[in-house]
Amino acid sequence: MTIALEVGVRREHSAWETLSSPEWLSAVQTRVEQVAAADSSTRRNAPVALLAIKCALLLLQDTMSDDTLPPNIVPTADGGLQLEWHHNGVDLEVYVEAVGTVSAWCREGSREWEDDYYSTARIAKELSRLTSSPAR
């Protein structure tokens, strides 16, 4: 079964900027279309839940800057999605379950944290270091 979901993207630009989209947006779009369209009969996973896709996109909307690196997006066995970033020695994984619940785990060397609740501040802080721009 293919998930039918039409998603509009609104983009705020100041008049000083040329019209463009962040690089991560097209990468996320491509990957979400792939995981949503994958035929679940050919793999062991349950089909990805529409709610998980919506919640994952809203999470990215809340936490990504224009220069943030795109996540690797992996369907989970229970119909959820896992968003992963592995860069600069930082491992950040965000789990969106089929029912929309969000949890996250991060490790950088000996520093490690885990959240069972939706916490955009903590995720956004980690993502601010996972950018395509030179280290700040």
Partner 1 sequence: MIDVASSADSVVPYARPSDLPDFDAPPVTEVAIALHFLAPNFRAVHLGLLWERLRDRYPVVEERSPMMSQVEQFGATHPPTVQFQFLDTPPVPLTVFADPTRESLVQVQQDRFQCSWRQGSPGHPYPRYSSLREEFVKNVAILDQFAAQQDIGELLVKQAEITFINAITDVDTVADVLRLTPAPVRDTTTELPEPDLTRVAQRRTFRTDDDVPYARLHMAAEPGLSPSGEVVQLVFTYRGEPFAGRRVVHPLASIMGFLDEGHDRIVRAFADTTTDAMHLIWRRTQ
Strand 90-96: give its sheet, edge to edge.
Answer: 72-75, 81-87, 90-96, 102-108, 111-115
Asked if 9 interacts with partner 1 (CB under 8 A), we say: yes
Quickly list H helices, 45-114: 50-63
Decide: helix, strand or coil at residue 113: strand
Asked if 23 interacts with partner 1 (CB under 8 A), we say: no
| Token reading at 31 | 């990957």
Asked if 116 interacts with partner 1 (CB under 8 A), we say: yes
Shortest distance in whole angstroms from residue 7 CB to partner 1: 6
| Token reading at 61 | 């909307």
Shortest distance in whole angstroms from residue 76 CB to partner 1: 17
Asked if 135 interacts with partner 1 (CB under 8 A), we say: no
C-alpha angle 36-37-40 in degrees, rounded to nearest 5: 90
Asked if 26 interacts with partner 1 (CB under 8 A), we say: no
Asked if 108 interacts with partner 1 (CB under 8 A), we say: no
Catalog residues that contact partner 1 under the rule CB under 8 A. 4-13, 21-22, 25, 50-51, 54-55, 57-58, 60-68, 99-102, 113, 115-128, 131, 136
